[in-house]
Amino acid sequence: MTSKLKVSPAIFIASILCFLLPFVTVSCGGQKVASFSGIQLATGTAVEQPQMFGPPQKQKVDPDPAAVVAALAAIAGLGLSFLGARTALGPAVSGGIGAISLLFMKSRLDDQIVKQGHGMLQVNYETGFSLTLLLLLAGAAWNAYLFSQREQIPAQANRTEGSRQVSLADSGLTRASCPHCGQPWPTNAKFCTNCGKSASGSAVAHV
């Protein structure tokens, strides 16, 4: 189980690192106009806009709210992953929120850039975006699996305990034990089958 718990932090660490990769490239007529990494989308940046006359001017790009949520979800998923399988539902939810936020960001950027460029600008989503989306989905799925396994453990333990009690009943043994050696005491027996001593004079110890 320990090795399984190490998978979730690795997934979320990889998703966070993917924010350093190019997420979005904007082009016009096949020429690249701007490129943004996940960190730039989440924290904001500035791009140089070419001018017909004079030097290029810098234009500020505000942080994208959906990218911020996705980055925070990846960080939260990483932190919650270290708490173990009992809290696996937290990383699962974080991964799901992060993936949904990225998809929302994509839809929003598509609409904004197409409107601002009057149909002349194209948006391409790079490797960083695809990898981050897949890793967040993988983190959600893996932690959902861990959570389902955690729910099954008590049920399996109860079935094992029930089987053990049935086995004791079938063998003619009770939950009483010998006061001298502690071994199970057969039903209606006068002497311990292990040490041979009698229970008379001392009470039979119950577990």
pLDDT tens digits for 104-117?
999 988 888 777 76
What is the domain range of residue 204? 168-207
> Tens digits of per-residue pLDDT, 163-204?
555 454 454 444 477 877 877 777 677 777 778 777 664 444
CB 51 within 8 A of CB 57: yes
Q: What is the pLDDT of residue 182?
A: 77
Same-domain check for residues 143 and 173: no
Q: Average per-residue pLDDT in the chain?
A: 79
SS3 call for 22? strand
Q: Which of 5-19, 23-37, 38-52, 84-98 has the highest mean pLDDT?
A: 5-19
User: Which residue did the predictor score with more confidence, 56 or 136?
Assistant: 136
The domain that contains 31 carries what CATH number?
A: 1.20.140
User: Which residue did the predictor score with more confidence, 27 or 134?
Assistant: 134
CB 25 within 8 A of CB 47: no
Same-domain check for residues 106 and 181: no
Same-domain check for residues 91 and 176: no
Predicted TM-score (pTM) of the model is: 0.66
* Cβ within 8 Å of residue 151, ≥6 positions away: none
Question: 183: which 2 tokens?
Answer: 């071994």
Q: Which of 170, 169, 168, 189 is nearest to 178 (CA)?
A: 189
